[in-house]
Amino acid sequence: MKKLGVIDLGSNTTRLIVMAYEPGYSFRLTDEVSETVRLAEGIGPSRMLQPTPIRRAVEALHMFYSLCQSTGVDQVIAVGTSAIREAANQAEFWTALREVTALDLRIISAEEEAYFGYLGAINALPLHTGALFDTGGGSTQVMAVRNRELTQSFSVQAGVVRFTEQYVQSDPVSRADLRRLREAAHTAFAPIDWIADLSDGKLGGIGGTVRQLARIDQKMRHYPLERVHGYVLSREAIERIIEELARRSRRDRLQIPGMKEERVDITLAGAVIIATLMDRGGFSSLLVSGQGVREGIFYQHFLADQPQPLIADPRRFSVLNLAHLTHYEPQHCERVAHLSLSLFDQLAPLHGYGAWERELLGYAAILHDIGISVGYYDHHKHGEYLIHNATLLGFSHREIVIIASLVRNHRKGWGELAPYAPILTPDDETRIARLSAMLRLSEYLERSKSQIVRDVRVQLGEEIVIDILADGDAHVEIWEASRRSGLLRRSFGRDVQIRAA
């Protein structure tokens, strides 16, 4: 695998990701580091970078570049965004940087920043039409998306560090300061009249502030997953957080569950910026993206041989990517998927499910044995853990819970669903039981991993009769599947008979 390091020097935070990848085939994150440098601190109307923030930024860049060199990274791409792009004294920054490192830093335009943010998010979120935004320390980029294509973008100097310094002069924030914050945000987004035309789509949010808001909301709701990417954050939730932040002093805000110390003073301004943008576009909720500019730059390299750096089907790609990284057995998993989907189709008169459930069952079949990469014993539990912690693109949290549960149940036993009640719907327990039963039966019909069982034929009556079509002696498979048919019997309320055709 090749290794690419991407460094993003932002106005508030400098971040590094290291991706190991085979071009166009698979990738994985191997390292991630971030450092709060506050490059935009004290920049003011004069647009002059201050000596202390310059020193912090240069030290972070030197450290990140040295880390890449010492860990065998093949190529490093470093970009700078709003604060340094707009600085009147860029020469001072370059002098300080050249004194300590040979890192080649490229200052990207606002349009490029929007484009890379779009690439990172569009390849990771289930968003086809709508808008994306990226709120950083110095600016916010807003992008219009139709059919996954970037159609236009807008950049404005509405960043969390910039707005905090300009409009928050009190602690706790006074009503006057909060009003000035809201008015400034309203003025900043007034020119983007086109965003209201996208309100029938989805809104995706990029950046540390939106992730911070998601973490706080998750703690408030006692949300059962640690995953922030793909989290649905409502406009009402953001307003509750604004009210909570506004009534507390800086010290008291540290007591809010989920609050990061380095963001305690700037999150209120960020929340107001995001809330105002949502109001401007008429969006009642947003999807949180864990990917942005850095990942967008990576995708441009990973998909360099394609006309556009867009993953055609992020969901299927990320499932296969996880399967590749865990050294799955393609023939075995594909046969389990074939048998599972054949059972699904033929049992449709009983379960009444559609294309959505069928898709999730197929993905679970591909991933059902990934836990073996950890260890054979309890590999169904290991697989569930891996799915909950993997980079799965384009899936909702509910879908991830369902896929993980199917993998957990494919072998034996039953995974507890009560902790996921805030995510699942009331009928999901039955849905998961029935899909798990099909997957489990298919796994045991492929017990020898030799693809002896070619297909199944299902007859529905007072009992479910499953005839096995085999290209050889399938006695072991039929015996194992019969022993493991209890979940199918219980979930459908009918006896099950499995026999040779």
Q: Let me know if the fold of 2-108 is the same as that of 111-294.
A: yes
Which option is the CATH number for 111-294: 2.40.10.500, 3.30.70.890, 3.90.1150.10, 3.30.420.150? 3.30.420.150
CATH superfamily for domain 2-108? ATPase, nucleotide binding domain (3.30.420.40)
Indicate the SS3 state at residue 382.
helix
Q: Over the stretch 400-413, which tens digit does the pLDDT of each residue have?
A: 999 999 999 999 88
Euclidean distance between CA atoms 261 and 267, whole angstroms: 10
What's the mean per-residue pLDDT of the chain? 96
Euclidean distance between CA atoms 397 and 281, whole angstroms: 25
What are the phi and psi torsion angles at 456 (to 5°)? Answer: -130, 150
Average pLDDT over residues 153-160: 96
Average pLDDT over residues 166-193: 96
Average pLDDT over residues 131-151: 97
User: What does the CA dihedral 122, 123, 128, 133 come to, rounded to 10 degrees?
Assistant: -10
Would you kindly state where each structural domain of the chain is located, as residue ranges?
A: 2-108, 111-294, 315-500
Q: Using pLDDT thresholds of 50, 70 and 90, give the confidence band for residue 92.
A: very high
| 315-500 belongs to CATH 3.20.20.450 | no
- In sequence order, the 6+-apart residues with CB closer than 8 A to the CB of 423 are 223, 224, 225, 397, 398, 401
Q: Over the stretch 300-348, which tens digit does the pLDDT of each residue have?
A: 999 999 999 999 999 999 999 999 999 999 999 999 999 999 999 999 9
